[in-house]
């Protein structure tokens, strides 16, 4: 509330009452001070320091390629042989069993199980790759990894030269 003491009543008043503006700003400041620490909370995760680590493939590892086929179907290849979901499961169980038997049986200390390396096409839907991961885990494979192509650049070329 402003009070005019004398002066010309017909002249426009040029003073602005800033009290409501300050009140709103203080309320917003208090709201932000309370809500920002809740939003900033995150889960601590230690990320690897390397950009690209070349895969060390062992002969007993399984190499799968997954791509999208015609009419939205999923095409899965075991090495270069196309397989359906049932034969993928059967081959995976047979491969794991033969590898365990080769190393001396399931009670062998230090048993080294083979890994699954999946190459997924960029345009492949997740359901195709997810189905392959699920099938291989159901067969008993514990380690499932993805093969990717590193981005072109000097860092990738330097690390490939170290091999």
Can you give the residue ranges of every domain in the chain?
62-161
**pLDDT of res. 137:** 93
Region 17-46: what's the mean pLDDT? 80
Asked if pLDDT for residue 161 goes beyond 80, the answer is no
Residue 115's closest CA among 58, 43, 38? 58
**pLDDT of res. 162:** 47
In this prediction, residue 157 has a pLDDT band, given cuts at 50, 70 and 90, of very low
User: What tokens appear for 18 in the block?
Assistant: 């800033």
Give the separation between CA 136 and CA 96, rounded to whole angstroms.
10
Class in CATH terms, 62-161:
alpha beta
Region 40-64: what's the mean pLDDT? 69
Asked if pLDDT for residue 120 goes beyond 90, the answer is no
DSSP code, position 155: H
Asked if pLDDT for residue 135 goes beyond 90, the answer is yes
Asked if pLDDT for residue 158 goes beyond 70, the answer is no
120 against 138, higher pLDDT:
138
- Is the separation of the CB atoms in 131 and 160 below 8 Å? no
In this prediction, residue 103 has a pLDDT band, given cuts at 50, 70 and 90, of confident
**pLDDT of res. 28:** 94
**pLDDT of res. 76:** 92
Ranking 39-53, 63-77, 82-96, 142-156 by mean pLDDT, the lowest is 39-53
**pLDDT of res. 163:** 43
**pLDDT of res. 156:** 47
Residue 134's closest CA among 62, 61, 63, 85? 85
């Amino acid at each position: 509330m402003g009070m005019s003491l004398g002066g010309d009543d017909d002249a426009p008043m040029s003073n602005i009452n800033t009290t409501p503006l300050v009140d709103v700003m203080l309320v917003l400041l208090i709201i932000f001070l309370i809500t920002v620490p809740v939003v900033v909370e995150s889960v601590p995760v230690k990320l690897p320091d390397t950009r690209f680590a070349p895969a060390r493939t062992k002969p007993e590892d399984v190499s799968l390629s997954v791509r999208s086929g015609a009419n939205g179907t999923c095409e899965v290849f075991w090495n270069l042989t196309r397989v359906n979901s049932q034969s993928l499961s059967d081959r995976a169980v047979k491969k794991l069993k033969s590898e365990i038997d080769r190393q001396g049986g399931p009670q062998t200390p230090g048993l080294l199980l083979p890994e699954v390396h999946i190459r997924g096409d960029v345009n492949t839907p997740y359901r195709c790759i997810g189905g392959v991961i699920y099938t291989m885990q159901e067969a008993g494979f514990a380690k499932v990894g993805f093969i990717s192509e590193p981005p072109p650049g000097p860092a990738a070329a330097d690390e490939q030269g170290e091999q």
